[in-house]
Amino acid sequence: MSDFVYTETEVKDMCNEALKKRPSLFYKENFVKNTGHIKNTGVSYTEFIAQFLLDKIKEYKNGIKQITREKTYCISTHNGDCSGKSDREETVAMSMYSSWQNSEGYDVIGKIIDYQTPLKNVQGDEAGKIDLLAYNGENLRILELKKQENSETMLRCILEVYTYFQTVNKVKLIKDFNDGCHLEMPENERIVRASALVFENSCQYSDYNEYPILHKLLDELKVEVLSMREENGEYKISILHEMKE
């Protein structure tokens, strides 16, 4: 991915404009995808933007509005069939869903109960889809998955999953999957977690290890980071950054 080169003033102005305009789409801004360093400085785009959001944290959090989906979040036609799918991220998510339907699930996250869970209520809503939902008997995780070759920044991944976490009506999400999947999750939004799921040795994994201000933003947003590796044809998952209670 080629980056544009901006000055600190330009990046700050773009951040302020994005925050003022649509905080729920902040993660989609091109400058969030930028790697490398700001013009004439040794400051990375990731660290600069992470610090900006920490300084404006209330404005950012409060600007992402909840969307309550009137239809069920639990889509009965989701069967894990990835034939004909060309998107690698989606096929990984669907294969993870299919592989663990009749087992206890993965380490840490438990059983995958859905993929591509919709957040929109009406067609005009500007909201994406949750890559994966997983339940381990204690926590329902909203997972944002990045394929191994994905070159997006960890910052974007974190902001994307946090946006979905803020957007979804968590109690209704739990109720819908209790009904649709015959689960017995407590109808308490405190069991829901926002989790970034990235591969070991990916760009996102490297970002996490390189940028300390990013860790502070993770703690402030209460987002955890999980790392994944493929081993003997199976995915192994472990906690890279634990959610701060």
pLDDT average, residue stretch 163-177: 98
pLDDT average, residue stretch 231-237: 89
Task: List the domain boundaries for the chain.
Answer: 66-241
Can you tell me the distance from the alpha carbon of 141 to that of 135, in angstroms, rounded to the nearest whole number?
Answer: 6
77 pLDDT tier (thresholds 50, 70, 90): confident
* 1, pLDDT greater than 60: no
pLDDT at position 97 is: 85
* 2, pLDDT greater than 90: no
Residues 80-134 pLDDT 10s: 666 655 566 778 888 888 876 656 789 999 999 999 999 999 999 999 999 999 9
The DSSP H or E segment spanning 157 is helix 154-167
pLDDT at position 92 is: 83
Residues 208-218 pLDDT 10s: 999 999 999 99
pLDDT average, residue stretch 154-176: 98
Summary mean pLDDT of the chain: 92
CA dihedral 21, 49, 35, 8 (to 10 degrees): 90
pLDDT at position 110 is: 94
* 149, pLDDT greater than 70: yes
Give the percent of the chain with pLDDT over 90. 78
Long-range contacts of the stretch 21-28 (C-beta < 8 A, 24+): 22/63, 22/126, 23/59, 23/60, 23/63, 23/64, 24/63, 24/64, 24/65, 24/126, 24/127, 24/163, 24/166, 24/167, 25/126, 26/60, 26/159, 26/163, 27/156, 27/159, 27/160, 27/162, 27/163
Phi and psi angles of residue 210, each rounded to the nearest 5 degrees, phi first: -100, -30
- Is the pTM higher than 0.85? The answer reads yes
pLDDT average, residue stretch 225-241: 93
Structural contact between residues 32 and 19, judged by C-beta atoms closer than 8 angstroms: no
